[in-house]
Structures are given as structure tokens and as C-alpha cells.
Amino acid sequence: MSVPARDLAPPAVVLLDLDGTLADTADDLAQAMNTLRAELGQPPLPAGALRPYVSQGARGMLGYGLDLRPGDARYVELRDRFLAIYADCCSGQARLFEGFAEVLALLRQRGLRIGIVTNKMERFAAPVLRALGAWPDADCLITPDHLARPKPDPEGVLLACARFGVEPAQCVFVGDDRRDIEAGRAAGTRTVVAAYGYLPPDEDITTWGADARIDAPAQLPALCQRWGSA
């Protein structure tokens, strides 16, 4: 899926979602869920079965891993326990998606700056980024701690633009969840689906309205260069 980009300025900033876009964090989240399941006397689930729900955060993990929904009697209690477990292992197995270290270096070499806009709380996101050596430029790590409304609301994307002192039209926002694309579009950035990420089963990403898709991180610099010369 690729639709023509809107009539926007050449990119100056690339904004990235964290889980499923920049970093593969699924194994640590699966470990936390299976630790919680063990505490509840339940057998472990394969990490691969949990993977599609990572971008949905604790809500998605609890929904699939324990069949719990917000409003259920033990949801808040077990969500808080899950997050406490995850805090102890959040950067143990996390890794950049293949090729992303080189992609970040190339984008910066070409003069683009890098920011992170994630629905992951800062107490988890910051240790992961530091462990991966991928701290964003201008300390532009935007998490729900800084916001009244997380993605899909555009508040975080607009705050990132303000941190860099650029207009949304000068930004590209890359994410693997519908909420990322909705937030970027509402803010006025170009949007890119990271189709290699944690896409839910049977999700039709062509309905998200993104400007483009990439099937591997290595495709991002060429896309930005094409938009920069358009």
C-alpha cells in the first residue's frame, strides 16, 4: 500500500513509535505476562502468540494473555502487577529492529532529526532506549507522562514538533498501529506504516489512510529522500 503524499514540506524530522517500529520489545513483554500467568497458576503462552498485541500495551497483553478487559473486576490489580513485573525486565531482551541502527545514522547524516512518540510510559521507554543506545535528538521522548491524551490524539505528535521547532508538515511519523497513523494525520504530518511491526491478525492496513508503508526499516531513508526531493 502506498498512496501519494500530501503537498507537504521536505522532511526535517522523523518521529518514530517505539514498540513494533523502532524496537522489538515483544520478548520482554511476553516474559512479564508469563511470569504473571505463573503467579496465577496458568501455563506459559508462546511469545509469538502474544506478539501481535504488544503495540496495544498492557490492555492488549491482558486481553489476550488473561482474557481481561478494562472494567473487569481484577483488571486494575492485575494490570498494575503486570507492569511491576515488566519494570524489572523491560530492557533485558529488547533490540532494535534489524538495520535500524544504520538507518538512524544515515537519517542523521542527511540532516534529519529523530524523535520518539510512544504510548509506553517513560519509566519503561527510557530504560529501553538507553539500553539500545537510541536516545532521540533534543531529548524528544514523548510519552503519556507528558500528555493529557495519548495517541490516537495528536497532542504527542504536536508536542514533538514543538520540541524541534518545526511545523507538522516538516515531519514524518512512522508507526505500526492504527493509532499512530491517526495521530500523525490529525497533527498534519506525513505518515508511514511500519508493516514489519506488531500488526494484529487480519488487520487491513490499507484502511488506515497512511501516506506510505515500509516492509523493513532499511526502506525508510529512501522514502524520506524521495519526499525531500519531490
Backbone angles phi, psi at 114, to 5 degrees: -120, 130
Spatial CA neighbour of 25 closest among 105, 102, 116, 125: 125
Residues belonging to the active site? 17, 19
Burial 46-71 (b: 16+ CB within 10 A, else e): ebeebbbbbbbbbebbbbbbbebeee
Round to whole Å and give the CA distance between 180 and 174: 7
- Return the HEC string of 61-83: HHHHHHCCCCCCCCHHHHHHHHH
Round to whole Å and give the CA distance between 82 and 62: 8
Residue for grid cell 505518515? 191
Round to whole Å and give the CA distance between 29 and 13: 29
Residue length of the chain:
230
What residue ranges do the domains of the chain occupy? 13-24+94-229, 26-87
pTM of the model: 0.93
CATH number of 13-24+94-229: 3.40.50.1000
- Asked if 15 and 162 count as a contact pair (C-beta separation under 8 A), the reply is no
| Tens digit of pLDDT at every position of the chain (230 positions) | 444 445 678 999 999 999 999 999 999 999 999 999 999 999 999 999 999 998 888 999 999 999 999 999 999 999 999 999 999 999 999 999 999 999 999 999 999 999 999 999 999 999 999 999 999 999 999 999 989 999 999 999 999 999 999 999 999 999 999 999 999 999 999 999 999 999 887 889 999 999 999 999 999 999 999 999 87
